[in-house]
Amino acid sequence: MADLSTLFTGIRFENPFLLASAPPTESESNITRAYDAGWAGVVTKTIGLHPVVNVRGPKTKFLRADNTGSRLSMAKRPDSTVVASWNWELISDKPLDWWVPRLEAIKKAYPTKVLVASIMAGSGTDKELANWQVLVEGVQAAGADAIELNFSCPHMDRVDMGSNVGRDPVLCSVSTQAVKEVARVPVWVKLTPATANIVEEAEATFRGGA
């Protein structure tokens, strides 16, 4: 069999296929099923510290186009094809204390698979910067191979999180720097594309140490 392994940020992947943070990675059972199916790694559903009241399961919408015309709508109808879909859901509603023992168990059972913990806290205060650090220390002690900072999600119940951080170069830099003060594993940043010039935010995360 061909060798599909690759090295990224010092981490070896047995193949270049990685599940992103999303409903398919929101539980221990989903993650282990992904590994069993052959995925080299997963990024967990984003873990936070603040209480989250989630929607009742993923709210997925499908956009359909007429096969014989240009009409687009979300209505399910004959002679149409799904051309796009999107999902609306908040970050994980499971707390850090729920995730930590499960991350430990997953890593113990699948030591050669890559486990990336996606995390999110607020911004703008010393307390929120400390929350980033609490999350980092929890997931890396549990065995996470890398940490993803979620500066991307637009579906948030607080204005100081997610894509609102990712649109502000100062918050990008300060939050990343706080994480890097305690991180011992690679730190990846997921930026929002909903900004005027993503290069500015990317540069700010590099200045923060990503």
Active centre residues (catalytic): 153
Residue 80 DSSP symbol:
E
Structure tokens, 13: 């992947």
Alpha helices, DSSP H only, in the chain? 28-36, 96-109, 126-141, 163-166, 169-180, 198-208
Task: Map residue 209 onto helix, strand or coil.
Answer: coil
Contacts of 113 by beta carbon, 8 Å cutoff, 6+ apart: 14, 35, 39, 40, 41, 42
